[in-house]
Structure 1
């Protein structure tokens, strides 16, 4: 943008073809999911400001369907946004399958097709800057994630993208301090769901101490115990290996290639031009493991998975990031278990907090 650019807005006409029953999804919600789904419908109906706090793998997307179907049937315009492209790319096919007669527009920085006027927009939070008083319903998934979390510009954009009387619904498994304060002060409504849809507990974190872990990575070495554990896991499951820095990707990849040249693997990071294709390869079972930065900490689902984090005590991994990483495991009802192993030099407050959060949610689920 520059001072020569001109901006124009028009009043939202809500000119959509009426669809009486837009939702074509024959799935079944659990009792817990149905309770949250009913609340979402109420919030959308009353233009509320609400947070759905649900554990990773709780089925947040499916809980949205009934409320969004209600909004679409009433001629409302809906936006579903997330800070991460990977989340958006995963949501699109699920919503297309659930709402086959609804025109859906996908918007993010890597989409080649341009904008078009439609009733349901699925986009990154950055794309909300292009809208003014456009949406009756705005859902933001993974609301606590960079770059949306703590970004005044993007929060301003979200506020301006909705009509003055609209519904704002936030989704997350790990609320940040701002949301926690709003909950405490009753500035936002909240629904809790501490149990995954299949009823199995969240996978808990195992920590393994390795001396001079950071030095080993920089020297392009890994202990034999890690290599043996990788071999054991990929015999029956796919594996995500998280590293703290982009520079660590090549080091770990080279080390593991030397360990076993026949292992099928690659690396991925936020600016990787083949990022989408590589994630799909992993999803299609064409890789034994994928070495990644925190870019895949959330919003992606793989059928049968374990997770390893190398240097999990690095400052780049916050408590919420570690909870989300652990939450990649056991999401599928057919494969509800897997390993979550953090290799560290010393345990720190983020790891302790992540372990405590997972134990607390599992405890709440058992109480319920």
Structure 2
């Protein structure tokens, strides 16, 4: 094992191999601590009953973080304190774009937060340019030899962020880490990863950015909250980015636990598309008969005539193929689409094909509700009354539309058998954000 692999990292090592490795005993910690009735995992910090964690021969493992590979009482964890062993990059930022005055104000605040090692929440509407607003702050951190991580709950968001950061920081080595790729770990100053990957770090990051901080599986997840606190240094900056902050996050800003920035305006200055709600009775029964609800059929036919790509969100995986086949029945054979969900092995390829124009539409679950950008998109939510579509999810789904300056508008339809508090709440929040955005523009023009 290369020594640098253990910098600020928890490396699992089998005890039987310890005599073959020249490891500093001061950097060895147990993987599992055994107590009277429970075991405690030193990687994820979670407690498990002995009965649930039992292995043969009085050994124990951690079932809580087994997704990251099994660790047990047969292992130790090896870590070397983060040395920030980086070469100074004088001009790390190669991005030549310009920020709007509102974006620039948020960008300057983020830089100040890093300088002061503070925690911060940036609440900006979908399409506000949160990533671009980070660039100057990240450039400052890189110049100061600080170690930086951008983590997000979703693989799709990682795959969106990584190439954008590569283009913006062409002279900086950046590592992408998530379960869907095979890139071997190496020591780098800048990392893009899923929040689960933070379980493998300890006191590593001077700056830790969590994008989509309100998203599943991160939100209200004690294991991942522990991972964040364990992965950052004691004196560090935690920056949370979201378009749909939870009440808990907003309360923490009011209590002064973190500073706060707010941007209710998209980067191109246009309003968020306002969803149109359509009552559609018996939609699931129609799908099972391989037919589309009448209103849905008319909407899709209109989009096809206008030659726009579109996403159809459904509440259950079991409805994906039913919906896909029903849509295909009303389209010409030269119009291609696909169904996609989280466990689909071709998921990344299908998303790329829609972006490249090789597919016209995707039928999807909430896996594509956030973090992905397609130009000229329209969106339809089928069964918007279902519980999976909470207010935040509906706001994020609507936010996929109108993100391009070339087509800053577009259609968002919520099809449902009845309106819910989540649906009306989503429409009210978008209306509120648009009103605040217009007020901001008016104030700047005075």
TM-score range, shorter chain: over 0.9
Kindly indicate whether residue 390 of structure 2 is the aligned counterpart of residue 292 of structure 1: no
> For residue 244 of structure 1, what is the aligned residue in structure 2?
315
Distance 1:236 1:153 in 2: 45
> For residue 418 of structure 2, what is the aligned residue in structure 1?
346
Distance 1:138 1:277 in 2: 29
- Aligned residue pairs total 368
Give 3-state SS (helix, strand or coil) of 1:139's partner: strand
1:305 to 351, 356, 377: 377
2:218 to 148, 154, 174: 148
> For residue 404 of structure 2, what is the aligned residue in structure 1?
332
Kindly indicate whether residue 96 of structure 2 is the aligned counterpart of residue 26 of structure 1: yes
> For residue 198 of structure 2, what is the aligned residue in structure 1?
128
Aligned residues of 2:280 and 2:295 also touching (Cα < 8 A)? no
1:66 to 136, 141, 145: 136
Report 1:156-167 matches (<5 A). Answer: 156-167=226-237
> For residue 124 of structure 2, what is the aligned residue in structure 1?
54
Kindly indicate whether residue 151 of structure 2 is the aligned counterpart of residue 78 of structure 1: no
Post-superposition offset of 1:221: 2.2
Kindly indicate whether residue 180 of structure 2 is the aligned counterpart of residue 116 of structure 1: no
1:41 to 101, 111, 124: 111
Distance 1:3 1:274 in 2: 37
Give 3-state SS (helix, strand or coil) of 2:379's partner: strand
1:102 to 169, 172, 187: 172
Give 3-state SS (helix, strand or coil) of 1:63's partner: helix
Structure 1 portions without partners, runs of 5+:
none
Post-superposition offset of 1:181: 1.9
Structure 2 portions without partners, runs of 5+:
1-70, 441-446
Distance 2:119 2:111 in 1: 12
> For residue 390 of structure 2, what is the aligned residue in structure 1?
318
Which shows bigger deviation, 206-215 or 40-49? 206-215
Distance 1:266 1:97 in 2: 29
Give 3-state SS (helix, strand or coil) of 2:323's partner: helix
Give 3-state SS (helix, strand or coil) of 1:7's partner: strand
1:149-173 Cα distance to aligned partner (Å, 9 max, x none):
0000100010010110000000000
Post-superposition offset of 1:261: 4.9
Distance 1:180 1:126 in 2: 24
Post-superposition offset of 1:185: 2.2
1:226 to 296, 313, 319: 296
TM-score by length of 1: 0.98
1:290-345 Cα distance to aligned partner (Å, 9 max, x none):
11000000000001101011111111101000000000000011110100011111
Post-superposition offset of 1:220: 3.0
Post-superposition offset of 1:71: 0.2
Post-superposition offset of 1:214: 2.7
Distance 2:339 2:102 in 1: 38
Give 3-state SS (helix, strand or coil) of 1:163's partner: strand
2:257 to 176, 187, 210: 187
Distance 1:181 1:218 in 2: 45
Which shows bigger deviation, 23-32 or 257-266? 257-266
Distance 2:256 2:413 in 1: 37
Give 3-state SS (helix, strand or coil) of 1:123's partner: strand
Which shows bigger deviation, 180-189 or 197-206? 180-189
Distance 2:276 2:414 in 1: 6
Post-superposition offset of 1:215: 2.3
> For residue 328 of structure 2, what is the aligned residue in structure 1?
257
1:185-209 Cα distance to aligned partner (Å, 9 max, x none):
2222110000001000000010111
> For residue 8 of structure 2, what is the aligned residue in structure 1?
none
Give 3-state SS (helix, strand or coil) of 1:6's partner: strand
Over alpha carbons, which structure has the higher Rg? 2
Kindly indicate whether residue 435 of structure 2 is the aligned counterpart of residue 367 of structure 1: no
Give 3-state SS (helix, strand or coil) of 2:233's partner: strand
Distance 1:15 1:183 in 2: 34
> For residue 279 of structure 1, what is the aligned residue in structure 2?
351
Aligned alpha-carbon RMSD (Å): 0.9
Post-superposition offset of 1:178: 1.5
Distance 2:297 2:424 in 1: 25
Kindly indicate whether residue 273 of structure 2 is the aligned counterpart of residue 175 of structure 1: no
Q: Which has the higher contact order (CA 8 A, sep 6+)?
A: 1
